[in-house]
Amino acid sequence: MRIYPAKPEKVYFYATCLVDMFDPEAGLDAITLLEQQGIEVIFKEKQTCCGQPAYSSGYDGEAKQVALSQMALFEEQWPVIVLSGSCGGMMHHHYRRLFKEDEKQQQVDIFCDRVFELTEFLVNVCRIKLNDRGESTSVVMHTSCAARREMNVHVTATQLLNQLENVELREQDYESECCGFGGTFAVRHPNISQAMVEDKTHHLSNTQADELVSADWGCLLNINGALDYQGKSMRGRHLASFLLERTGGK
């Protein structure tokens, strides 16, 4: 069981490639949520990919090079807040496996202990209390496989949404099933990926929720693309943006 530290004065912010390229506004919203907790947020501009695509494709050597370059950026001992359960899982769990029995193993373990997914950090370290200022609405949430099974942060994301008194959280059928993205899986197995996202969008749409939210932009890209192709009006956005808007901080 993870032991959480006291709320720090500063944190590093790891936006992830997909937020940087497709939804930088979500990154800014997440930074605002952290700053509202009295925390100084440090963003290192040279951050790149976490190495997960290479790692999941079997290129351990290349993944280690990426991991080393990223870990070197965050030299001070502040927590590293990651805006994705998938990248969080890579940096918190799989960096350890990449460097098992390596001379840098102890150094890597220390870094991995500093990595937190955003919702996990807000709930378990900041002890955040949200004041809902929005109109009544309903949402359905999708959680990535890594966020759910490696980081267990579907729990903290749900806790944040449940703090919003005017928001009804609706549960989709087969909630824990993958959307079919899976990083390079969608490229290697496009037909299987398409069938999986068709199932996912069907169950999400059946909730008739007003909004779709997720804390992982990889899944959102896949799901939103499928919804658009199907001609459906539902679109998903990052949980950080939804939370900031509901609490009047936007």
To which H or E segment does residue 170 belong? strand 167-170
pLDDT of residue 8: 98
pLDDT at 208 over 90: yes
Q: Is 95 exposed, middle or buried (0-12, 13-18, 19+ CB in 10 A)?
A: buried
| Structure confidence by residue, pLDDT tens digits, 215-225 | 999 999 999 99
Q: pTM of this prediction?
A: 0.95
Distance CA 114, CA 119 (A): 15
Query: What one-letter code names the amino acid at 121?
Result: F
Distance CA 129, CA 226 (A): 35
Q: Which of 245, 240, 241, 238 is nearest to 223 (CA)?
A: 238
pLDDT of residue 212: 98
Most distant CA pair in the chain, distance = 55
Residue ranges per structural domain of the chain: 10-124, 137-246
pLDDT at 1 over 90: no
**Would you say domain 137-246 falls under CATH 3.40.50.11810?**
yes
| Structure confidence by residue, pLDDT tens digits, 8-39 | 999 999 999 999 999 999 999 999 999 999 99
Distance CA 122, CA 137 (A): 23
